[in-house]
Amino acid sequence: MTETPVGRVAALQRYPVKSMLGEQTDSLQVGPSGVAGDRQFAFIDGETGRVATAKHPRLWSALLQCAAVTEDAGVTVTLPDGRALPVTEAAGPLSEMLGRTVHLADERAAGAVLERSDPLEVLAHGIDAEFDPVLLELGQGAPGGAFVDHSPVHLITTATLDAIGVGLAEALRYRPNIIIETDAAPFLENDWVGAKLRLGDVVLRGTLPTPRCAVPTLKHGDTERLPDAVRYLLDHNRVEVPGFGGNLPCAGLYAEVVTVGAVTVGDEVRVGAP
């Protein structure tokens, strides 16, 4: 198979807890189920049994003010008030902060769902407006128990980030695992559906363009709200995404794992024809 170089790995991210800030790393181990340690935990709404995620910002946007990092003793969660505690001890303090009872899950249950708000509704009416969210089943393209939205790995290019106007510094708004530096045209990721991507030891296959909800527009840690983080996509990159319904604003690529191994910052990225 002919492979074309398209760029290099610019940055790598892992998010130990669903919808919390994650951690940047120089190398990621990628197994059949995705990035080791990525989205390995989530908090579950005690009332509905659904996964707590900032995709429903009225209830859960405060999770983006919390950070999760992987340490030798396990995952540590830091709350907005500065308290740092093991993820296994975080449910009580989080419930108090959120005003809603949650409990920790360390494996995605079969059929697990989350609530996804329409980004247009959030842009028009704000994060506190009440409207009926859409239910989305997690991990439909992923083996294993990680709390990924669809496929095991999520990529985005610097060309796409630059076109949106956020750049590498605010890539965290889109929560990718792998950021690819490239001089190619923005939204090239759309063309990688079905293609194989070689990064270091790892080979991935693109599955879907990444649909965008309201999350990129929200505050992440110290950052401010940024409506243009999705508004630009609504105007410039709407894509029909199977299984998600509708002509959706997209940025990035979901991918499945073909060959396991390590990806390191600086690795060349090569793409084969679909």
What CATH class has 3-272?
Answer: mainly beta
Ranges of residues in the chain with a pLDDT under 70 are 1, 274
User: Is-contact 114 50, C-beta < 8 A?
Assistant: yes
Q: What's the pLDDT score for residue 125?
A: 81
Phi and psi, residue 89, nearest 5°: -115, 10
Q: What's the pLDDT score for residue 1?
A: 62
| Domain boundaries of the chain, sorted by first residue | 3-272
Q: What's the pLDDT score for residue 120?
A: 79
Q: Is 87 helix (H, G, I), strand (E, B) or coil?
A: helix
Q: How far is CA 232 from CA 157, 219, 224, 226, 236, in A?
A: 16, 17, 17, 11, 6
**Nearest alpha-carbon partner for 225 in 233, 213, 216:** 216
Q: What is the DSSP letter of 99?
A: T
Residue that has been written with the tokens 């709200």 in this structure: 225
- Amino acid 167 reads G
Q: What's the pLDDT score for residue 156?
A: 98
Distance of CA 170 to the CA centre of its chain: 13
Distance CA 267, CA 133 (A): 40
Long-range contacts of 222-227 (CB under 8 A, 24+ apart): 223/170, 223/172, 223/173, 226/166, 226/170, 226/173, 227/123
What residues does 76 pair with on adjacent strands? 69, 86
